[in-house]
Structure 1
Amino acid sequence: MVYPQALLDALAQNPDALAFEHGSRRLTRGEVLDLIGRFVAGLRAAGVSQGDGVGLATGVTPEGWAALIAAQVLGCRAVGVRAGLPEEHLRAVVGDLAVVVTDSSFPGTSVESLLSAPFEEPVPCGRPEDIGWVVFTSGSTGLPKGVAYSFGALTAQGIEHRASESPADLADRYRRFLLFGTLTSAVMITHLRSCLLAGGTVVIPAELPDFPEILPRLDITAALTTVPRLYRILDVLRTSEVDLSGVRMLMVAGSPVAPGLMAEAFSRVGPGMQQAYGQTEAGKLAVLTPDDVAAFPSSLGSVGRPLAGVSISVRSSSGDAVPDGVSGEIFVRTPGQFSGYWANPSSTSSVLVDGWVRTQDIGHFDADGFLHLTGRTRDVVIVNAVIHYTGPIERALAEDPSVDQAYVVAVPDEATGERAEAFVVAAPGQAPDLAALRAVVAGFVGEVAASVKVIDEVPVAASGKPDKAALLG
């Protein structure tokens, strides 16, 4: 059985059940299956064939998702096209696509024209080794990279869960999943798929979600959040009563989460609160729940235990596995991990090592099997779940004639997850304008996430290299 056959089977199994709520619209599973079949016929009539790339530049709609699945039924490479991409990035994303499906003013083939075709029974024809989905990174350090999944990997992904979870648990969790933001998000699409496979309903709000009130108002049982949004949720819960007893999963991911914040979130949100650790290249890897912390108080501050089917290896710089309690670089292996970066073999070879995905995160396991993250091999600042590499910021600061050296480090921040704290050494005889330099940093990460300090000299590590960690000491 090749992807997306399991999804098609799940839709056909109970055709009268509700699949999507989109504002006031209601679509049954049978109606969604009909959409997919008409998109299959429409794409075929547009000249699309197996192995082609199909771009999806649509809003968050049932039609947008159905078009994605139809492209994969045809054995095509489905590619999400984010709105507002710079022209250079857009060329990199759509350059080799056969067609772009759109429901807006974006140039391409309209949803309406494709849906005018008669229904064709959707029969997946992708081969396990072919690429069926490409998710592009933000391109914060250059051109975006396409994280490519094979049909074999997509088939293996299924529903990400803990080994202890039963089908009934999953059905209860995904009874009503809140979908918002963008269909170019790997994590959103993954949970959407899990919801439909588990028999649930995908709920798309008519307007931007107002957390946390939207959860009880729309009877949401599963939703995703970023760290900054979680802070806003807690701000509300500190002063208002919001009934979250129906929430089975409110998952926070995308940025480091301070232990104190997670403790408060577990307390105020309740048993449905979860912290997840994952990567686009490998999917969801580990989860921490309130039950974990109740049973193992020292697990607070960890990212939880690995999910079913996930292998995690912590290794030294020489590539050897290290014992519990010793930090090293985290390597992961999952049945549904990516095949490589689309048309980028050099980046692929630096991350895929003997079948393992090099996360470039540093951490360790404790004696109870919980994974603790302690740093990154990458110099990045994650602001509002968006990765910003520090190198370009440092170079921009150093272009100021009053600056001799510039270093940028990530600092935890309640409002944004992390902020960029820049340290500059003044050029001889110069007095840097801190306001101007802060504006430079803000141009990368935003005003509220930028700060600049002047130092006399940068600390030096034993290796002779600048010791960024010591700047915060």
Structure 2
Amino acid sequence: MPAFEHGGRAVTRGQVLTLIAGFVRGLRGAGLSAGSRVALDTGVTPEAFAVRVAAHVVGCQVVALRPGLTPEHLRDILARDVDAVVTDDAASRPELVAQAGDVPLLDTGGASWPPAPVTPGPADLTARGDRDGIGVIHLTSGSTGRPKGTMVTYGALSEDWALQPARWTDRTRRLAARYARFLLFGTLSSAVMFEHVCLSLLGGGTAVIPDQPLRFPEVFADHRVTACMTTVPRLYAILDAVRERAVDTSSLRALVVAGSPLAPHRLTEAAELLGPVVHHAYGQTETGMLTVLEPEELAADPGLADSVGRPLDTVEMTVRDADGRDLPTGRTGEVWVRLADAFSGYWEDPRETAEVLRDGWVRTRDLGRLDARGYLRLSGRTRDIVIVNAVIHYAGPIERVLASHPDVDQAYVVGVPDDRTGEAIHAFVVPQPGTAPDPDALRELVARELGEACVPARVAGLTEVPVAPSGKPDKAALRALVMGR
């Protein structure tokens, strides 16, 4: 089975190793060695995968540049002692060339770099990374200012739940078996996407890279895709398409949904329309995947539709109060996790690092509760709040109450400045097909379930939810709608 299918060509595992060896020699020939900092500005191709692996073999600190960085953010990142930038098409990236300045630029699409493919030798494929050294820095969106970078050491990478087949648990093996033809799209700079494509490849599967633009859900049948990672907004679009017209999704074995809250009724509907393939997962860039709800678990107990499953066997999880004390089973608090492959800190941000990393534990800053069987139910973000008259209100509970109304498909809550109360609660709802939710009825529902103080000042309807570059619902855009920007 080939490692990649891309642009009408099949790339074997042997050919991938040859590519990696060539890039290893090219990086070393450019003067790079263990500890060198290399920024990768590459697309989604077998070559892009190979050059990242080659950088790890050399032992570089890989800075995974994500698509959509502003010129200011790009300039800021490249000014942080970057030793080289690797791109796959410098001619189409004038802003990258301009911001790189004196930083050496290595173009994989150029005529002279990397050197011609070579037969791999032991020196080409022997990893040189320092276990305590930084292996990769994944960048956040920068929506609140300077993009944060989550630093992962080579030691943590070697412990990653997906990257060591000899240590796979039964759940990991079950997932890998479904990844025979994994849909690879979007970006390889994503920590989650890279983790899951490696799961497919290490399990003997093929990473299928389709032509652009993608057509969901037709892409599944077009390429006989068995597995795909998707965001909640994309899942909703897939379900809308399946309801409206005949769509062949029979090749799917795993549709892994993650990134933002998924309403229980939509998870139930997805299982009904797509069959026993939907996996509801939860994780963070800082930690990788933390929990997963398998379709067989949901089928056996439909009451789990409001959970994100159980922690992976490599994850220790607890729920704590505001003072960091463990809470009893069933109580809601902040989710804390401990795992060998977690990040080691934020790039050049010791204050944020000290806030999140505590004695070997990672504060997720997500709110949730664990039941007696270990299933996690999330209830919001500790920072996704609206402060009304100096009282904190979490957006998550209000969103869940609104989404529980039979006329509401999706619900989102944001806080906006208010002269009288400091901030005010504003809600947006996407109606169920053929319905028109009554704002007053929705406010009454919130008052009845959560109290008058949680009632939104305004409830507005939406036909389509704005989506951020990360694929998650864009609350900044929703807030701008309220403020008239």
Q: TM-score, normalised by structure 2?
A: 0.76
Cα distance change of structure 1 residues 225 and 442 upon mapping to structure 2, 3 Å threshold: closer
Instruction: Report whether the alignment pairs 1:71 with 2:55.
Output: yes
Instruction: Report whether the alignment pairs 1:331 with 2:336.
Output: yes
Instruction: Report whether the alignment pairs 1:110 with 2:113.
Output: no
**Alignment check: 8 A CA contact 2:317 2:338 kept:** yes
Alpha-carbon deviation of 1:452? 3.2
For the residue of structure 1 that corresponds to 2:113, the secondary structure is helix
Instruction: Report whether the alignment pairs 1:99 with 2:99.
Output: no
Distance 1:363 1:171 in 2: 28
For the residue of structure 1 that corresponds to 2:482, the secondary structure is strand
The answer for the alignment partner of 1:125 in structure 2 is 128
Over residues 93-124 of structure 1, what are the superposed CA-to-partner deviations in whole Å (9 max), with x where a residue is unaligned?
22221110011233221013332255362210
Over residues 292-321 of structure 1, what are the superposed CA-to-partner deviations in whole Å (9 max), with x where a residue is unaligned?
222223211111111121111101122221
RMSD of aligned Cα (Å): 3.0
For the residue of structure 1 that corresponds to 2:170, the secondary structure is coil
Cα distance change of structure 1 residues 197 and 367 upon mapping to structure 2, 3 Å threshold: same
Q: TM-score, normalised by structure 1?
A: 0.78
The answer for the alignment partner of 1:354 in structure 2 is 359
- Pairs within 5 Å for 1:202-221: 202-221=207-226
Distance 1:221 1:153 in 2: 29
Cα distance change of structure 1 residues 408 and 110 upon mapping to structure 2, 3 Å threshold: farther
Instruction: Report whether the alignment pairs 1:452 with 2:452.
Output: no
Alpha-carbon deviation of 1:163? 4.2
**Alignment check: 8 A CA contact 1:363 1:371 kept:** yes
**Alignment check: 8 A CA contact 2:255 2:279 kept:** yes
Alpha-carbon deviation of 1:408? 6.0
**Alignment check: 8 A CA contact 2:161 2:168 kept:** no
Distance 1:29 1:453 in 2: 53
The answer for the alignment partner of 1:13 in structure 2 is none
Cα distance change of structure 1 residues 412 and 176 upon mapping to structure 2, 3 Å threshold: farther
Q: Which moved more, 1:157-166 or 1:185-194?
A: 157-166
Counterpart amino acid of 1:248?
R
For the residue of structure 1 that corresponds to 2:52, the secondary structure is helix
Distance 2:130 2:9 in 1: 35
Distance 2:42 2:27 in 1: 15
Select 1:141's aligned residue among 139, 144, 150: 144
Distance 2:12 2:366 in 1: 42
Instruction: Report whether the alignment pairs 1:341 with 2:340.
Output: no
Over residues 386-407 of structure 1, what are the superposed CA-to-partner deviations in whole Å (9 max), with x where a residue is unaligned?
xx997xx85xx57xxxx56653
Select 2:24's aligned residue among 35, 40, 59: 40
The answer for the alignment partner of 2:227 in structure 1 is 222
The answer for the alignment partner of 1:60 in structure 2 is 44
Alpha-carbon deviation of 1:410? 7.6
The answer for the alignment partner of 1:430 in structure 2 is none
Cα distance change of structure 1 residues 332 and 363 upon mapping to structure 2, 3 Å threshold: same
Over residues 233-274 of structure 1, what are the superposed CA-to-partner deviations in whole Å (9 max), with x where a residue is unaligned?
011111223232321110111111111111101111111111
**Alignment check: 8 A CA contact 2:66 2:190 kept:** no
Counterpart amino acid of 1:186?
A
Q: Which moved more, 1:244-253 or 1:198-207?
A: 244-253
Select 2:423's aligned residue among 407, 415, 423: 407
Distance 1:91 1:232 in 2: 36
Distance 1:352 1:207 in 2: 40
Cα distance change of structure 1 residues 410 and 225 upon mapping to structure 2, 3 Å threshold: farther
Cα distance change of structure 1 residues 410 and 144 upon mapping to structure 2, 3 Å threshold: farther
Cα distance change of structure 1 residues 447 and 333 upon mapping to structure 2, 3 Å threshold: closer
Cα distance change of structure 1 residues 409 and 57 upon mapping to structure 2, 3 Å threshold: farther
Select 2:299's aligned residue among 281, 287, 294: 294
Distance 1:341 1:198 in 2: 31
**Alignment check: 8 A CA contact 1:231 1:414 kept:** no
Alpha-carbon deviation of 1:451? 4.8
Q: Which moved more, 1:355-364 or 1:341-350?
A: 341-350
Gaps of 5+ in 1: 1-16, 383-387, 416-434, 436-440, 455-473
For the residue of structure 2 that corresponds to 1:92, the secondary structure is helix
Query: In the comparison of the two structures, how many residue pairs are matched?
Result: 402
Alpha-carbon deviation of 1:367? 2.5
The answer for the alignment partner of 1:4 in structure 2 is none
The answer for the alignment partner of 1:363 in structure 2 is 368
**Alignment check: 8 A CA contact 1:55 1:79 kept:** yes
**Alignment check: 8 A CA contact 1:325 1:366 kept:** yes
Over residues 426-455 of structure 1, what are the superposed CA-to-partner deviations in whole Å (9 max), with x where a residue is unaligned?
xxxxxxxxx9xxxxx99985767765399x
Alpha-carbon deviation of 1:162? 8.5
Counterpart amino acid of 2:107?
S
**Alignment check: 8 A CA contact 1:442 1:450 kept:** no
Distance 1:294 1:389 in 2: 31
Cα distance change of structure 1 residues 281 and 34 upon mapping to structure 2, 3 Å threshold: same
Q: Which moved more, 1:275-284 or 1:75-84?
A: 75-84
Counterpart amino acid of 1:452?
V
Alpha-carbon deviation of 1:145? 0.7
Distance 1:250 1:414 in 2: 23
Alpha-carbon deviation of 1:379? 2.4
Counterpart amino acid of 2:278?
M
The answer for the alignment partner of 1:420 in structure 2 is none
Distance 2:13 2:264 in 1: 41
Counterpart amino acid of 2:129?
G
The answer for the alignment partner of 2:245 in structure 1 is 240
